[in-house]
Structure 1
């Protein structure tokens, strides 16, 4: 433990913290100061955690720190496996909880910085299935997942580039090699120009080659468009399958639902909502109003100086002395009723805290249950698609679940009772110790006063006499009350038993007849159910076979249609080429000069001659080559497209950021609503037992 504290102090005294602690000052830090140190270390890892703890509620501080530690994958040591104790120690600022956390954080600060940075972009927002039924939300969620995958790949490439270690010498070598290749290409182009000049109609041939290149580029663009349309079609088919699966799961859930279960759920929701409206929300509203009123008072008051602060401190000291005097007077009076009330108040405060803790546990359990229900529905749909059969029968699964629920409820109740007893035992033990200390101090003071007055032992004898007399009177009263009460209770119970027997006699006779009818009806129901299950299984197997046959026939039909259209397109292309060839042959064979001029061969030769003449003229005048002009034109077009698309792209990025903020707000509202809906159920179910305890 001392080595751990030494390591923490050394790290805190270095950059970037510079705390100037030693072992004594660090060990003597108060809980709030220790929490502030932990918050400073977390703020160094994640800049979003820069907060003054004095201006924040303890529950919010604990929630914020626990969420960040969960993202950083911190696991408490073996002696703090219980998350409730760990959370309570973090709220209180206990040293056994915070020191291991600081030691773990300061050991791997750089690694945790990277993890916190990646967590901002890679923690997926869980969108409920109800919202994913909307097409716009589903599309945006899909786009969000694609962007997350893109970020992963880009981050990996960035890390690889950082570790690849390119040097400036290698880059210079590459640049020199590229310049040499450029010179070689320029020389090659000049040689090709000289060769082309000797050919007739080289200008026309260059023009035709340019047109060919344009057509090839257009062909590549059309192929790219075709691939994009195929991808869109594939995504649309996937979306359709997802929607169909959701529809099947919803229909299955609606078919399995019973009116009794629906009524139970509605009753639980009503209880929870009534608790939230009647107890939690009013308390929170009152607290917020008090805080706002207090803050308004603080804002309305003028700025305070050093003298004002000294006056307030003097007033506080006076009030504290008055409170201590009143407490001493109260202790001298020996009022047992007020002491009992204080114990009950402490127990009530403990029970209220337990209610809040159990509400949080209930919320977490509900979230886990919803996730498990989704997984179960997905697995059930998968088994139906593959085999067409269920994994378990409904009655067997319900019996198994009912047994587990009964056992889990009994276990939870027993565990809860044990925990409450332990907490109350610790509280009562602590109060007993405090009261014993106070009693010893008062007795010591009383003995000193009696010794001074010369009547030592007087208070002890007087207290013993009063106690014995009060005990005797109480015992006599209790005896008399218990005897009278027992006799009256026996008479009342005998009368009630006789009345109930007479009233229940005809009802018991009717109940026997109804039980016989119920047994007969249950037997008939089981027989009908077996017949129905066998018939349904046969129909389901026939339906799956027919669906497979229909799918195969549809696939064959689509393949044949695609072949038919492909062959038609080939035939049309061949017919066009054949028509062009016959026209060319007619024009080439005919004796008419006008028709010969219309032939493609003549046009090509003429264009080649024109291009040769233009090339000679351009070389004489010292003009640049058409290749460089083309490259400049492409660069200008790219610059123009970038300028035109800059504004819409920035607008789209802003809209995406706004959408992310909106989804984060919706997530927080949804989580808050779930937290609020889960508290009331636990309190309504176990409130009476806890109050009795």
Structure 2
């Protein structure tokens, strides 16, 4: 793909396009710009294609390009399904579709120019057989086909004369030489062998390039193999075991601690959500009742906390510290595990990005990114190539200097020739025959031209007379051959008119019969549609009544079971009855309410003394804090006094 793009860019930068692209700018072209480039190349092949595609509909552009590519006999790769993708890609300006087309066009531009020129004269117009029945149209079409064949033959002769490279006079001179046919045959074989030699040289160069790329690819693979072996040799078993142990510890922690906790929390959340979903819909009164219950439970929790603080158990305090430390460590461990997991995911993403970038560079340039020793070898190759380039540049400079010398000698020789001509003219003037040499040369040249023109005139007149005779004979032969065919054609025209009349009558009968059948069919379809709707309504009613009957049967069965359980003398059966269960639940709730009321009464009675005791405890805490501050202040003052006293004694000693 990269070689293809390079070839396209190099040819677009040459005459007659002069686009001034490089690989990056060409690859970054928009679809409309790429279509315009393709249109410019097609316009170079066929001047009728000079169009600004911005002023043309996309469907017209695609149709025009496809028709020209069909004339040029371009075969897109793939099968019939790929043809639709090819057309779609040509409409939207897809790079995988347009790049091969540009490569194919730029490879054979001169050949395609000739094909497009010939297509204007050799594409045959298909005339329907109905129009060819007319004699004038048939004669015109016949004349058109004959002219087309004559153009083919003349074009072939013209191309042969162009490629021969000899004038008529030279050819006639060659005909006088002995064994000229053998010499021409040998020359033709020599030309074929030279073309074959060029083709083989091109194949040899392509194979050399392929071999060079294969050697480079082999070197890269060998370097990768060496690096992998080096990494495997440097890896010690202790480091590998240590790494594996760390991975095992991390995975075991994730499996035994982190994931079970997450699963348990998700299960609790799911259970809570299922419980919320299973409960019936709640109104405003239910919400107020729940809020009151929550407030009561919060007050109970606060009271229990106060009681616990009053007990002031030291063992619980120590355990709470350890629990707090353990919870902090577990949180840190979870955080580190999450960080490690995120780092692993980030590493995997970065590795994927690196692989994508390497694939992109390989697709763009056809080579991989060089590393280490490969880059050094590449630099050394560049240096060797730079030395070769300098030598070649020096040789070119020497050739340029030699060219300058030769050009100067040519100028000197021209000046000398002019001087000799002037001397010759002066000598002719002295002798009285001025202009003799010039007139002699002109006479010789004019006589040669006159003889060539006379030969051309005679040959063209003979050719034209022979062509006219041939054309007249062909016309007479064709007329004699077409006379019986025209008679048969007239009879067939009469039969065709009779058959068309009969066909029109049958068609009118068929249309009337079809209209009647169509009206009957529409009526029957309406009746069937109405009956189907009634059937569907009756089926829905039937299913609804069945469902209602089943619901009533279930309710009746429940009522009979309840009556049997309530009437039966067995106590276990009575307990199964809904009435007994509801009365039991009501009694339990009443007992619970009685206990809660008693508890509330006890709390209300002990609330005042408890609040006084709490206030006394806070006052006691403030008093102890005040004593603590006074004690600390007294200690600081005594230490300052001792320092001052020690400083005074030091001064007295001095």
How far is the alpha carbon of 1:135 from its aligned partner?
A: 1.2
How far is the alpha carbon of 1:422 from its aligned partner?
A: 66
How far is the alpha carbon of 1:164 from its aligned partner?
A: 2.4
CA distance 1:381–1:595, change in 2 (3 Å): farther
CA distance 1:454–1:508, change in 2 (3 Å): same
How far is the alpha carbon of 1:433 from its aligned partner?
A: 77
CA distance 1:160–1:98, change in 2 (3 Å): same
SS in 2 for 1:82: helix
How far apart, CA to CA, are the structure 1 residues paired with 2:307 and 2:115? 59
Greater displacement, 605-614 / 241-250: 605-614
After superposition, the C-alpha distances for 1:471-522 in whole angstroms (9 at most, x for unaligned) are 9999999999999999999999999999999999999999999999999999
How far apart, CA to CA, are the structure 1 residues paired with 2:170 and 2:602? 34
Counterpart contact for 1:201–1:609, Cα < 8 Å: no
How far apart, CA to CA, are the structure 2 residues paired with 1:530 and 1:9? 66
CA distance 1:57–1:516, change in 2 (3 Å): closer
SS in 2 for 1:26: helix
How far is the alpha carbon of 1:170 from its aligned partner?
A: 2.3
Greater displacement, 583-592 / 231-240: 583-592
Counterpart contact for 2:43–2:49, Cα < 8 Å: yes
CA distance 1:530–1:239, change in 2 (3 Å): farther
Greater displacement, 126-135 / 559-568: 559-568
Counterpart contact for 2:133–2:489, Cα < 8 Å: no
Greater displacement, 670-679 / 413-422: 670-679
Greater displacement, 593-602 / 302-311: 593-602
How far apart, CA to CA, are the structure 2 residues paired with 1:322 and 1:469? 138
TM-score (norm 1): 0.26
CA distance 1:16–1:480, change in 2 (3 Å): closer
Counterpart contact for 2:12–2:18, Cα < 8 Å: yes
How far apart, CA to CA, are the structure 2 residues paired with 1:675 and 1:131? 130
How far apart, CA to CA, are the structure 2 residues paired with 1:477 and 1:598? 135
Counterpart contact for 1:358–1:679, Cα < 8 Å: no
After superposition, the C-alpha distances for 1:26-81 in whole angstroms (9 at most, x for unaligned) are 00000000000000000000011000001111111000000000000001113885
SS in 2 for 1:348: helix
Kindly indicate whether residue 620 of structure 2 is the aligned counterpart of residue 659 of structure 1: yes
After superposition, the C-alpha distances for 1:244-295 in whole angstroms (9 at most, x for unaligned) are 9999999999999999999999999999999999999999999999999999
CA distance 1:655–1:365, change in 2 (3 Å): farther
The unaligned stretches of length 5 or more in structure 1 are 174-195, 615-621, 625-634
How far apart, CA to CA, are the structure 1 residues paired with 2:31 and 2:183? 88
After superposition, the C-alpha distances for 1:55-110 in whole angstroms (9 at most, x for unaligned) are 11111100000000000000111388522211111000010100000000000001
CA distance 1:117–1:501, change in 2 (3 Å): closer
After superposition, the C-alpha distances for 1:418-474 in whole angstroms (9 at most, x for unaligned) are 999999999999999999999999999999999999999999999999999999999
Greater Rg by CA: 2
CA distance 1:458–1:544, change in 2 (3 Å): farther
Greater displacement, 279-288 / 522-531: 279-288
How far is the alpha carbon of 1:131 from its aligned partner?
A: 1.1
How far is the alpha carbon of 1:353 from its aligned partner?
A: 60
How far is the alpha carbon of 1:354 from its aligned partner?
A: 61
How far is the alpha carbon of 1:162 from its aligned partner?
A: 1.3
CA distance 1:270–1:237, change in 2 (3 Å): same
How far apart, CA to CA, are the structure 1 residues paired with 2:156 and 2:29? 43
Greater displacement, 563-572 / 71-80: 563-572
How far is the alpha carbon of 1:563 from its aligned partner?
A: 104
Counterpart contact for 1:204–1:604, Cα < 8 Å: no
After superposition, the C-alpha distances for 1:513-547 in whole angstroms (9 at most, x for unaligned) are 99999999999999999999999999999999999
After superposition, the C-alpha distances for 1:617-648 in whole angstroms (9 at most, x for unaligned) are xxxxx999xxxxxxxxxx99999999999999
After superposition, the C-alpha distances for 1:667-687 in whole angstroms (9 at most, x for unaligned) are 999999999999999999999
Counterpart contact for 2:45–2:113, Cα < 8 Å: yes
How far apart, CA to CA, are the structure 1 residues paired with 2:216 and 2:326? 56
**Matched residue count:** 654
How far apart, CA to CA, are the structure 2 residues paired with 1:556 and 1:339? 81
How far is the alpha carbon of 1:144 from its aligned partner?
A: 0.5
CA distance 1:445–1:685, change in 2 (3 Å): farther
Counterpart contact for 1:133–1:243, Cα < 8 Å: no
How far is the alpha carbon of 1:123 from its aligned partner?
A: 0.6
Match of 1:499 in 2: 477
Counterpart contact for 1:588–1:599, Cα < 8 Å: yes
How far apart, CA to CA, are the structure 1 residues paired with 2:292 and 2:543? 98
Q: Among 340, 345, 366, which residue is 1:367 paired with? A: 345
How far is the alpha carbon of 1:13 from its aligned partner?
A: 0.3
Counterpart contact for 1:71–1:119, Cα < 8 Å: yes
How far apart, CA to CA, are the structure 2 residues paired with 1:42 and 1:287? 69
Counterpart contact for 1:272–1:681, Cα < 8 Å: no
Counterpart contact for 2:428–2:434, Cα < 8 Å: yes
Counterpart contact for 1:62–1:91, Cα < 8 Å: yes
SS in 2 for 1:126: coil
The unaligned stretches of length 5 or more in structure 2 are none
SS in 1 for 2:594: coil
Greater displacement, 477-486 / 369-378: 477-486
Counterpart contact for 2:8–2:102, Cα < 8 Å: yes
SS in 2 for 1:78: coil
Task: Give the ranges of 4+ consecutive aligned residues of structure 1 lying more than 4 Å apart after TM superposition.
Answer: 196-614, 635-693
Counterpart contact for 2:220–2:374, Cα < 8 Å: no
How far is the alpha carbon of 1:568 from its aligned partner?
A: 116
RCO higher in 1 or 2 (8 Å CA, sep ≥ 6)? Answer: 1
Greater displacement, 63-72 / 655-664: 655-664
After superposition, the C-alpha distances for 1:337-356 in whole angstroms (9 at most, x for unaligned) are 99999999999999999999
Counterpart contact for 1:360–1:675, Cα < 8 Å: no
How far is the alpha carbon of 1:134 from its aligned partner?
A: 1.3
Match of 2:124 in 1: 124
Q: Among 630, 640, 644, which residue is 2:601 paired with? A: 640
